[in-house]
Amino acid sequence: MPYSIALNFEDGVTRFVDCRDGDTVADASYRAGINIPLDCRDGACGTCKCRVESGRFDGGSYIEDALTGEEAASGLALACQMRPHTDLVLAIAASSDVCKTRGQSFATTLRAVERLSPTSIAFTLDKPAGLAFLPGQYVNLAIPGTEERRSYSFSSAPSDDTLSFLVRDIPQGRMSTWLREAAAPGAAMTFTGPSGAFYLRDPVRPLLFLAGGTGLAPFLSMLGKLAAQGCAQPMHLIYGVTNDADLVEITRLQDYAARIPGFTFTTCVADPASTHPRKGYVTAHIEPAHLNGGDVDVYLCGPPPMVDAVRAWLAAQGVTPANFYYEKFAPSGAVTAIGEQHRQAA
């Protein structure tokens, strides 16, 4: 039975390859035409060093100059020596272009558009054959009839039969306008991906999820994955929006809270005139228990001011999380940078 290996490159492109029993990750990658950095194939040079984000494997044999004991203990491994025991997610220290690969393109059809609130729209696509993604990732979706693309995170879990997305309805937004005025079931659509370094890692400590507006989408995907596989770690989601109308998908969150032991969530609305019982920004609702003395993995998806505010708030509390993964998104001008992804929302 082959194992699925997700190779996540520095530019955010992810490619999945199948690794047969007994093969190394390097063997599987080269068989798929992906030239990950490699010089010796003998565990002597360290060129193929990568970070294991999730999964179990046999690290093989190598010399100390190629991979030190400290590096191995921190989660690094050599692709030319490692043989998987489970599916793996690997962070490759090179761009997809350098490795002679690129994001994949897929054709699909629109299945449904749903108005969730005056400010939010959900839409569903048929799932193309051969598509795999990590919960939290996004695709670059072409706006029908134009040369433009918009980037949206999956709100569906990787195992779901369809693909779903959650977007903010911006009055003059090109994709928003198409979904609102022209979209019809069966419409042809295309996208490239998956992409992004904002994805769920193996839960090894408590999790704190912080979502702003439609930044809830990747967390719905993550929760779908956790509901399917189970999770022994406690996790809490704080979902903050600007206005009452922006608060959506609460029924889905309640369903996940019932299905996932240890998962709880809190909602809040920033507008002082809101009728919601919890007002203010997400930082006003982070409790000391959620931070677990810093032994916590924090995942944050929201607009740039929210990301910056949370980082400043954590620093003011004197708390440094074990890991802090974040994604910034803006209404337009998507730009990808190392360590963060910027997504278009309109």
Close Cβ partners of 316 (under 8 Å, ≥ 6 residues apart): none
pLDDT at 71: 95
pLDDT at 102: 85
Report residues of the chain scoring pLDDT below 70. Answer: 330-346
| Domain ranges within the chain, ordered by starting residue | 3-92, 104-195, 207-344
Name the one residue in this structure whose structure tokens are 């490759």: 92
104-195 topology per CATH:
Elongation Factor Tu (Ef-tu); domain 3 (2.40.30)
CA of 327: how far to CAs of 72, 132, 151, 204, in Å? 28, 20, 12, 21
Using DSSP bridges, classify how beta strands 120-126 and 149-153 pair: parallel, antiparallel or unpaired: unpaired
pLDDT at 125: 98
Global pTM value: 0.90
Architecture field, domain 3-92: Roll (3.10)
Q: Is 44 exposed, middle or buried (0-12, 13-18, 19+ CB in 10 A)?
A: middle
Over residues 246-277, the pLDDT tens digits come to: 999 999 999 999 999 999 999 999 999 999 99
pLDDT at 183: 95
User: Beta partners for 125?
Assistant: 110, 163
Q: Quick check: 7 and 82 in contact, CB under 8 A?
A: no
What CATH class does 207-344 carry?
A: alpha beta
Three-state DSSP at 291 gives: helix
